[in-house]
Amino acid sequence: RTGAVGERFRESVHINAGLLALGNVISALGDPKRKRASHVPYRDSKLTRLLKDALGGNSHTVMVTCLSPASADFAESLNTLKYANRAKNIRNKPVINRDPKAIRIAEMQSEIDALREELQRTQALYSEASSVVTLDQLVDESEETNKRAQIPDDDISRWQ
């Protein structure tokens, strides 16, 4: 139909073989009667090997279909719609790939960051306090206050 010869013709043959293999994979994956253990021919072409994860793997896949409004291309457009309908029947159940070790490492890293911030706040608080009054001075003042607050024994006897 295209009139290709030589190298172009061989290239078109390879493209059509890849598309045929892709059609077989789509048919195998989209078949509602298919059992999970049935064979899917991913190895039949380079195209299907490249698209293996997108078609039957852990992903959402979108297929864009181009049609021609010309009546001369009706048969090709109809085949394209049938092809897209088979692709629409593929049902994957993608799940988010999460590594439990990576999650744990991220949790530990956030805990380390929080502890560092707390340590910096505490060090800043003590550095401000040490510049004003030392801990020994606070203890001495506390003892003096306790001594002044104690009532002498002879004053207690007066109240009895």
For the record, the structure tokens of 48 come out as 């299907």
Per-residue pLDDT reduced to its tens digit, 31-44: 777 666 677 888 88
Per-residue pLDDT reduced to its tens digit, 43-88: 888 888 888 888 877 777 788 899 999 999 999 999 989 988 888 8
Per-residue pLDDT reduced to its tens digit, 119-137: 888 888 877 666 555 666 6
Helix 74-88, helix 7-30: angle, nearest 10: 40
Residue 12 near residue 39 (C-beta atoms within 8 A): no
Mean pLDDT of the chain, nearest integer: 80
Residue 37 vs residues 40, 55, 56, 61, 146: alpha-carbon distances, Å: 9, 16, 13, 22, 84
Q: Would you call 55 exposed, middle or buried from its count of C-beta atoms within 10 A (0-12, 13-18, 19+)?
A: buried
- pTM value? 0.52
Longest Cα pair distance anywhere in the chain, in angstroms?
A: 128
